[in-house]
Amino acid sequence: MDLNQLYQRHQILLMRASSASSNNACRNHKSEAAGIARRIEAFQNALGALAAQSWRPEMVR
């Protein structure tokens, strides 16, 4: 797993969510970003990394 790619994809999705033209598109981008955040958190937890605590997926509104 390439964490840099996951971080990049997560950031792109959050930027797309903030500029989405509809609430539905915004929710979809945030939902996908939350899934990636869960993957990052799980990977970091498996390594015992303290940074994992800051990768809690945001609630999708």
How far apart, in Å, do the first and last CA atoms of the chain sit? 29
Residue 26 lies in a domain: yes
Q: What's the pLDDT tens digit per position in 3-21?
A: 899 999 999 999 999 999 9
Residue 61 lies in a domain: no
Q: Does a structural domain hold residue 59?
A: no
What is the predicted pLDDT for the residue at 56? Answer: 62
The number of folded domains in the chain is: 1
**How do residues 21-58 score in pLDDT, each as one tens digit?**
999 999 999 999 999 999 988 888 888 877 666 656 66
Could you tell me the pTM of the whole model?
A: 0.78
DSSP state for residue 19 in the 8-state scheme: T
Can you say whether residue 53 is alpha, beta or left, with left for phi > 0 and alpha for psi between -120 and 50 degrees? Answer: alpha
What pLDDT shows up at residue 12? 98
What's the gap between Cα 56 and its chain centre? 9
- What is the domain extent for residue 36? 3-54
